Structure 1
Amino acid sequence: MPIAPKRRTERPALHDRRWLALAALMSPVLLVSVDNTVLSFALPPISAALNPTGTQLLWIVDIYSLVLAGLLVPMGSFGDRMGRRRLLMIGATGFTVISVAAAFAPSAAWLITARAAMGLFGSVLMPATLSLIRNIFIDPNERRKAIAIWASGFSGGAALGPIVGGFLLEHFYWGSIFLMAVPMLVPFLIFARLLIPESRDPHPSPIDITSIVLVMATMTPLVYGIKSFASHGLGTAVIICFAVTVLAGVWFVRRQLRRPDPMLDVRLFTNSVFSGAVGSNLLSVFSLVGFLYFVSQHLQLISGMTPMEAGVALIPGLGATIVAGLAVVPVVRRFKPAHVVATGLFLNAIGFGVMFFAGPAGSDAGLILAFVILGIGIGSAETISNDLILDAVPAHKAGSASAISETAYETGAVLGTAVLGSILNATYRANVSIPDEVPETSRDAARETLGGATDVAAHLGGPAGESLLHSARAAFDSGVGITSGIGVVLMLGAVLMALRTLRDAKS
């Protein structure tokens, strides 16, 4: 008899604080997602301060998401074993300390290293947030609302990055974008212990170091190979990278299939709904990050906006992302999830189509409209695909499922920058014309990036500076036709994939 009252008092306590727990969990979600894109608006001042090469500039952006993508699955497994709240606290502490180190980086190499370490601790944070939501919200309808808020925070945070970055860069130096981790995570560390319940897998898989190495061996050469291919074409190094990716990936899958307690249950991908939702996740973020890489530089370095003005220009897209993520919850009760996700992906294709015409035409209003359309599509597709991913697994495996969902997100972020960013940079280098008056010591910087050319033109001045600036801007925008065309084709392919793989998903 005494046991029954105890159960009645424990359950309401968890029930009463579940929305407060969700509010606390949004701090790391917002921070990690903002950190994915806030750097885009800091690229021009970073180029001026640290003088990175074009390759270093891409690695400054990519290394964070690359490490995140490679370690999310292992960290999801660690969370299932160690306790998700405990891992969340470790990640928040490490992320705060490393963010301060990144803020005062004296060189491009230092910043790349710090960004890699931030990716490590970010990978600790993210699987824990979504898996804790899966375990806190037992009711399916409430869980879908909670995931909608989580997804809106994640995709909205990615769009918020340029706005936050614009404000900070308007008033402070470029390192301030990293210092915002301190006021966001220190209060979280205080409230998390009070509001968030601990949860773990009662029968966790053993730690598998070999599988962790294989994940990284799959992801790292893949992104490096894409970068090299975009910059130098198909060479020996590119072929070796792709071969290593395939071999490591196959080895990883075979290892998981043979193990009685795999780090990642790859059999989940035999479920077409699960695999289709993961693919939709990846391609949605691919479109978002690839677009932001272009538009953040275009608005500042070509349209002449200040960082703050450029950030404000993207507010409509941010609002569209958040509103769409929340509004899609009641919609999916009346329409099939496959149709809702496919519609979101089709809107992404339309957004890239608008970008195709607006970029070369120099229409800022057109680019803002393109971002609004993308925001609606991404907010819709992300919310439903994340819910479908979590719904496919039992609660005690939520950490692994969350890790897969966020691995798709981060892989999309990596590929969005690596593929579209590398093509954009390669097109720029192929088309920029360097005047003879530019000193030999500055020619490489002008040829590598638009930010470098803008800085060189400002120091050069006169007709030669104007000529360099005009050529650099035209060369940068010349790549938008290719990148937006690729975006349209990929998104239309994603629509067909969603309609086929998600057709059996239930509302």
Structure 2
Amino acid sequence: MNNTSPVRAWLGLLVVLGPVLLVAMDGSVLFLAMPAITGALTPSADQSLWILDSYGFAVGSLLIAFGAVGDRYGRKRLLLIGTAMFGLGSVGAAFATGPESLIAFRVLMGVAGATLLPSALAVLGTLFPDPRRRAQAIGIFAATFAAGFAIGPIVAGQLLSRFWWGSVLLINVPVVLVFLVFAPMLLGEVRATVDTRIDVPSVLTSAAGLLLAMYAVKHAAAQGFTASAVAVGVAGAVLLGWFGRRQTRIANPLVDFSLFGNPVFTVAIVTGFLPLAAWSATAFLGGGYLQSVLGLSVADAALLAVPGAVVLTGTAVVTPVIAARIGRPAALITAHFTIVAGLLLLLPTSTSGGAAWYVAATAVAGIGYGISFSVVADIAVAAVAPERAGSAAALAETGNELGNALGIALFGSLAALLFRVNGPDLAPTLAETLALPALVPAADDARAAFTDGLHVVAVTAAVLHALLGSVALRVLRSRSAPRRRFRSDTGDIGAGGDRCGSHRGTNAT
């Protein structure tokens, strides 16, 4: 693949971006579709949450495992199998006749998505052996991934204004077919060049531990610390602890924990989690605010998300160029504090108006989101040798997917708790309260309680970003004193001569 012509390399990137866009988009495409799904399938409250979260949980819990599978058995093969599964799951979900079948097909889509992301990002290293071209390709990859999350609600809003709810899932099929036709022609098979035998216990414990831990957090956030939630959480923690301990003792670990010895790399991986958590929560709550509080149609609400999506995508595209000049660490710090500014712009929103503030908030925060998505992906691939690229990419994407899944579960549950405490206490959600007849004063109180919840979530996420940004500033300042040059084309993400790449291959042989 190192002899791939430039034209074929860029065509290969183009065909890979299709599934990447779909995987990201399907993490947010149901945000505006849930009212239509609820009307058609009448799911319970718990089933509604699982319709939203099951996809992200499946992707997040299996990314690390499938990153190693791709390293071992071939990334092209895994891409083809995963894309075909994703298409079948999309068709099944689009025509689901009940909430149980919709959840099952969403899980299948999540499993397929977990096969796609690490392999798609890792294959860029073989399509673009030149570091500068690879950085550009990764920037485009990150922009596509970011755009998928951002445009999911926009696409859903436009389709829902014309078609039935299943159309938001059925649009995946044409992209899947194009990939299955052209990928075999443009992509060569790539697998590890050294012994990468998969440790089956590690695969099973990483997947089971992450799934149990995420379920426990979600259940506790939504329903309190019940005995079952605590038991599941403890089981997940034990499995993850055993998994982590095992990785330091085997020859071919799924996760090279030595990478986290570099503080800059650690900050970057955490940065992969928190912005997605903040974005998914505020996008979900913002959609409810625009429709249920301000009374906008689903199509109009979707259009108001366009400026933020454009800014986010454009920023992800240009970030590699900017980071090459100012350094990726500086870009990380900028990302956090820009997101803080954007989140705080949500505070002037009110029950009587605030659409302009919402647009401004998403546009400003979109700069930070775009930077974070691009920089984290770049660091993940530059940090390791090519034969470990799938596993490293899986770490970065796992942070993203966990942030997307847990953002709604945690921040959304905080908003729901505040609504129950401050609202009229007639129904558990704003939509159900507004559906009650002849309750104009209560409806006003419900809208105010929902808006207050949005404000608290925005402030909480802003504080967390400010704290992480401050930590990043301290870490990077202490490491940049000997050398202030951070080059994206060499893999340098720290100063003082320390490179994340110095850990390459530590446990890979």
Same fold flag (TM > 0.5): yes
SS at match of 2:349: helix
Taking the TM superposition and a 5 Å limit, the aligned residue runs for 1:352-391 are 352-358=343-349, 362-391=353-382
Aligned to 2:461: 487
Deviation, 1:495, is: 0.6
CA displacement 1:368-416 (0-9 Å, x = unmatched): 1111111110111221221112111011211111111111110111121
Q: 1:220 to 1:491 in 2, by over 3 A?
A: same
Aligned to 1:118: 109
Aligned to 1:341: 332
- Whether the 8 Å CA contact 1:360–1:480 is kept in 2: the answer is no
User: Separation in 1 of the partners of 2:464 and 2:411?
Assistant: 12
Q: Within the alignment, does 1:280 sit opposite 2:271 as a pair? A: yes
Taking the TM superposition and a 5 Å limit, the aligned residue runs for 1:101-250 are 101-250=92-241
- Whether the 8 Å CA contact 1:48–1:452 is kept in 2: the answer is no
User: Separation in 1 of the partners of 2:295 and 2:452?
Assistant: 18
Q: Within the alignment, does 1:449 sit opposite 2:395 as a pair? A: no
User: Separation in 1 of the partners of 2:442 and 2:170?
Assistant: 35
Aligned to 1:254: 245
User: Separation in 2 of the partners of 1:93 and 1:452?
Assistant: 38
User: Separation in 2 of the partners of 1:397 and 1:425?
Assistant: 41
SS at match of 1:277: helix
User: Separation in 1 of the partners of 2:430 and 2:143?
Assistant: 32
- Whether the 8 Å CA contact 1:80–1:396 is kept in 2: the answer is yes
Deviation, 1:84, is: 0.5
SS at match of 2:189: coil
User: Separation in 1 of the partners of 2:32 and 2:287?
Assistant: 6
Aligned to 2:44: 53
The one of 394, 400, 405 aligned to 2:396: 405
User: Separation in 2 of the partners of 1:259 and 1:210?
Assistant: 11
Q: Within the alignment, does 1:32 sit opposite 2:23 as a pair? A: yes
SS at match of 1:356: coil
Aligned to 1:506: 486
Identity %: 33
User: Separation in 1 of the partners of 2:348 and 2:239?
Assistant: 40
User: Separation in 2 of the partners of 1:104 and 1:42?
Assistant: 14
- Whether the 8 Å CA contact 2:90–2:105 is kept in 1: the answer is yes
Deviation, 1:188, is: 1.1
- Whether the 8 Å CA contact 2:344–2:458 is kept in 1: the answer is yes
**Segment of structure 1 superposing worse, 237-246 or 313-322:** 237-246
- Unaligned runs of at least 5 residues, structure 1: 1-9, 436-446
Aligned to 2:502: none
Q: How many residues align?
A: 481
Letter in 1 for 2:59: L
Letter in 1 for 2:411: L
User: Separation in 1 of the partners of 2:464 and 2:350?
Assistant: 19
User: Separation in 2 of the partners of 1:123 and 1:484?
Assistant: 29
Letter in 1 for 2:144: G
Deviation, 1:506, is: 2.2
Letter in 1 for 2:212: P
Aligned to 2:86: 95
Q: 1:376 to 1:92 in 2, by over 3 A?
A: same
Q: 1:351 to 1:149 in 2, by over 3 A?
A: same
Deviation, 1:114, is: 1.4
Deviation, 1:471, is: 4.1
User: Separation in 1 of the partners of 2:74 and 2:114?
Assistant: 15
Letter in 2 for 1:213: L
C-alpha RMSD over aligned residues: 2.0
Aligned to 1:4: none
Letter in 2 for 1:231: A
Counting helix residues as a fraction of each chain, which structure ranks higher? 1
User: Separation in 2 of the partners of 1:57 and 1:71?
Assistant: 22
Q: 1:451 to 1:219 in 2, by over 3 A?
A: farther
- Unaligned runs of at least 5 residues, structure 2: 488-509
**Segment of structure 1 superposing worse, 260-269 or 487-496:** 260-269
- Whether the 8 Å CA contact 1:427–1:479 is kept in 2: the answer is yes
User: Separation in 2 of the partners of 1:158 and 1:122?
Assistant: 14
SS at match of 2:324: coil
User: Separation in 2 of the partners of 1:210 and 1:56?
Assistant: 31
User: Separation in 2 of the partners of 1:244 and 1:13?
Assistant: 47
Q: 1:186 to 1:380 in 2, by over 3 A?
A: same
User: Separation in 2 of the partners of 1:425 and 1:244?
Assistant: 27
User: Separation in 1 of the partners of 2:42 and 2:416?
Assistant: 16
CA displacement 1:178-237 (0-9 Å, x = unmatched): 101111111111111111222110224223332223223332233233333333434434
User: Separation in 1 of the partners of 2:456 and 2:195?
Assistant: 46
User: Separation in 2 of the partners of 1:316 and 1:481?
Assistant: 21
- Whether the 8 Å CA contact 1:47–1:452 is kept in 2: the answer is no
TM-score, structure 2 as length reference: 0.90
User: Separation in 2 of the partners of 1:320 and 1:327?
Assistant: 11
Deviation, 1:449, is: 3.1
Aligned to 2:33: 42
Q: Which runs of 4+ in 1 moved over 6 A?
A: none
CA displacement 1:28-52 (0-9 Å, x = unmatched): 1111111011110111212222223
Q: 1:286 to 1:351 in 2, by over 3 A?
A: same
Deviation, 1:262, is: 1.5
Letter in 2 for 1:450: L
